[in-house]
Chains A and B, each alone.
Chain A
């Protein structure tokens, strides 16, 4: 079938076969890890997969309008999906890494709150510029009324556009996305840090205090890298722009979650193998 004859791909359609293949690949990767590094390595990989899934799922919440939003032609934040999610998630990772000494739960929650705070400030400033700098009220192009506040949207949409600014539901979506991304990134960092703290002293014949700078740097770099992998994968799933949890594109999340799990498992295996082989 030629490209011209092909039916337009329904962006939201799920492909059960592909999802099944993804799950099988995930199980194979888990099996490899169980064989090579049972115990701490496997636990680390499971944590990395959960973190990756949180990032992939959370990115769907972030309202991103891309180039059209920069002209007030579409609602959302005027930048790329992966870029904004990375900005929020890495701000969260920064906070979570700082709290790493206080335990996994506190660090992950701190990371989530850091990401949420970054998004809350950014989303508020976006509406500030739209309202006070450009005189444009927020309006969604995808729903008749805001699902949270019940505010009607159509009459606040200027002519020839799909909406603009951030309606309240998009703001909430942005904060939720930041929280999930920050928590996911921090979880990946903590899992790798715990593994490196145990394995690197033996591998390098050094004390834990001596290997800490290397462990922190390596875990941090892998966490940033895996964050970008998951955020970019999700950006492909979203294809361009999304308004937030009320957008029909949000329903595509199961596909992205499977893809994120497989990609995180693959990246995680590499991050684990460098210290266990």
Chain B
């Protein structure tokens, strides 16, 4: 019983860490302009719209975070093998991983902006100096939380994977959840704030991103400030739910015998039940939107 209570406590803590990690990851990727919406930041100067948005798509968010979290976890693991206190080892590992992120961010910005020289896009040194450190700070929060939850899963819950492998697995999952949930909000809602609310961006408007703020030109800190209100927390909830529910169903139900089938099946059936619950929730959201917002145009059958 004590083991289960301990497991539930660790599960709750990892869920909370994952929520913070997801929110920080999305905000970092928006300030740094990483992921799919960066295609528009890259495209804008080619369409004649010069801007002061940070431009770093080092890689897709999942492999990028897979690398950084694996690096942080691997270094922390090495420090722990050198008998350094676990908390200090994780902090040191994550700091070193963040320096790698900073190097990637710097070279990505310089390389990408330099490639746009023929379209007249300048390289802003002040942008490089002010944005890189902010992305690094957010990346540290995301990597630290992810490595810490991996450490808890390994050391406290007894998962067989070593810490660096857990860092790779959950880093990729973090990037996948954060980019899936947060990208549309940054891409459509912020970069194309000049387009109509409640509709997708027409393909003809591609590249015409918003470049001016309330005062002066917009930069990526403004974008981070905006997306941290919904895209970031939504990404955090997404990753937090994934980690928490995956651990919760395993910690509580894995050892319980299912009548006639034995242990292990309870966790499977609870997982299937949770998938069904999310399916119903998704269907409710979809039908709610159709009823509340209505169609953009009358159905062809009705108008003819």
Contact in complex: A224, B168 (CB < 8 Å): yes
Contact in complex: B275, A79 (CB < 8 Å): no
Query: For chain A residues 63-100, which have a beta carbon within 8 Å of chain B?
Result: 66-73, 77-80, 83-84, 86-88, 90-91, 93-95, 97-100
Label chain A's interface by main secondary structure: helix
Contact in complex: A87, B172 (CB < 8 Å): yes
In the assembled complex, A125 has its CB within 8 A of some CB on chain B: yes
Query: For chain A residues 111-150, which have a beta carbon within 8 Å of chain B?
Result: 113-114, 116-118, 120-138, 149
Label chain B's interface by main secondary structure: helix
Contact in complex: B162, A160 (CB < 8 Å): no
Kindly report which residue of chain A lies nearest to residue B230, judged by CB atoms: A133
Contact in complex: A117, B202 (CB < 8 Å): no
- List the count of A-B residue pairs having beta carbons below 8 Å apart: 295
Q: Chain A contacts of B200 at CB under 8 A?
A: 71-73, 136, 158, 160-161, 163-164
Kindly report which residue of chain A lies nearest to residue B201, judged by CB atoms: A71
Identify B161's interface contact among A97, A137, A163, CB under 8 A: A97
Q: Chain A contacts of B237 at CB under 8 A?
A: 125
Contact in complex: A78, B202 (CB < 8 Å): no
Contact in complex: A79, B238 (CB < 8 Å): no
The range of chain B's interface size is: 35 or more
In the assembled complex, B185 has its CB within 8 A of some CB on chain A: yes
How far apart are the CA atoms of A126 and B185 in the complex, in Å? 10
Contact in complex: A86, B62 (CB < 8 Å): yes
Given contacts A121-B242, A129-B185, contact A175 B279 (CB under 8 A): yes
Identify B299's interface contact among A90, A91, A149, A154, CB under 8 A: A154
Q: Chain B contacts of A94 at CB under 8 A?
A: 159, 161, 166, 169-170, 246
Q: Chain B contacts of A117 at CB under 8 A?
A: 242, 245-246, 271, 274-275, 278
Contact in complex: B181, A126 (CB < 8 Å): yes
Query: For chain A residues 148-184, which have a beta carbon within 8 Å of chain B?
Result: 149, 151-152, 154-168, 171-172, 175
Contact in complex: B61, A79 (CB < 8 Å): yes
User: Known contacts A136-B198, A138-B289, A165-B289; can you find 6 more A-B pairs with CB under 8 A?
Assistant: A72-B199, A79-B61, A90-B168, A113-B271, A131-B289, A137-B286
